A and B are shown apart, each in its own frame.
Chain A
């Protein structure tokens, strides 16, 4: 029995630290639903680096439809899919991007934030973040169609937490299907933007 004690204690410490490690802003008061720890990734990518990014046209919060092809030849594009509004990690991801517009501008890039939530939900949720400089798109109907085309629609109907960097020719240059429970590093994304704008 004794010989199992040490591994058990180590596992205890590790599982404790895995279960922790997130924060969220008081801006959302008590309105954040915590789904607990989820399977990090549970879909299979349908696109790869070097291929043309599947085009899409989605409604945005502003009321306009935004299409990927409208940036062809003009801007690099970062697609930031987040799983769901009103959840812990998602609520503290885009507000960080919101204060680094200058970095996106420097690399001639736009950011498109996408979730599978509907427009009214996205409206209420993103209002807590302050005024966002980037378009927020709804992949609600047909549900998760764009997420599915990219191969990041989970079996529960949420999207993965994923980043795609697409260059001005419409070619996918970087993919990060991230652990859904964790926020991707901003530093890595900035580095990828630097690479394509060099």
Chain B
């Protein structure tokens, strides 16, 4: 009898805790926190590898990207806001590329939450996205980063050791590119 009650309690616990995300407000990593550790595949595309300063194949972590700050966009090919925002983020990429003080210092990547490689490829071609996009088919990164709505922007800068410090964390599009760049330059210590 005791055993049966024990099993019952255990499974009830499993059921209720397991349903967590249905009611719990998940939170994206906030500014000044350390970015949770995750890995992405080293891009097969040589231009993307060169842009990120990566070599070979396998997986990489954020600290391996050659930059003083990395902008991470959580998007979805299915998200109308992300579709509308895509040209603006392309402009941001061009702005960074054209400013001598920023070129090579700030990099942008996109993570397609729940998107397959096929779906990410459609988004990349449709909006001619010039920076690397990574599929997150099983929502692994999306869960790791607090199951945000889309588009969501994180900016990370090197922290202690191999960690990355979140210097910007915000839901929604970037309305003022100048103000955004000024903010992240200041917070990431880019002169």
B76-A92 in contact (CB<8A): yes
B79 within 8 A of A: yes
Chain B: minimal CB distance from A190 (Å): 8
The count of chain B contact residues (Cβ–Cβ below 8 Å) is 44
B191 to chain A, nearest CB (A): 33
Interface residues as binary, A3-16 with B (CB distance below 8 Å gives 1, 0 otherwise)? 01100100110111
A187 touches B118 (CB 8 A): yes
- Using A11-B18, A36-B22 as known contacts, say yes or no to A23 and B77 having CB atoms under 8 A apart: no
**A49 CB within 8 Å of chain B:** no
The one of B14, B116, B171 that contacts A26, using a Cβ cutoff of 8 Å: B171
A: interface residue count bin: 35 or more
A37 at interface, CB cutoff 8 A: yes
Query: Which parts of A21-49 form the interface with B (CB within 8 Å)?
Result: 21-27, 34, 36-37
Contact A23 B147 (CB under 8 A): yes
Q: Which residue of A lies closest to B117 (CB)?
A: A187
Contacts of B18 in A (CB 8 A): 11-12, 14-16, 18-19
- Residues of A at the B interface (CB closer than 8 Å) are 1, 4-5, 8, 11-12, 14-27, 34, 36-37, 92-93, 95-96, 98-100, 128-130, 183, 185-187, 190
Counting from the closest, the 4 A-B pairs by CB-CB distance are A15-B18, A96-B78, A25-B79, A27-B81
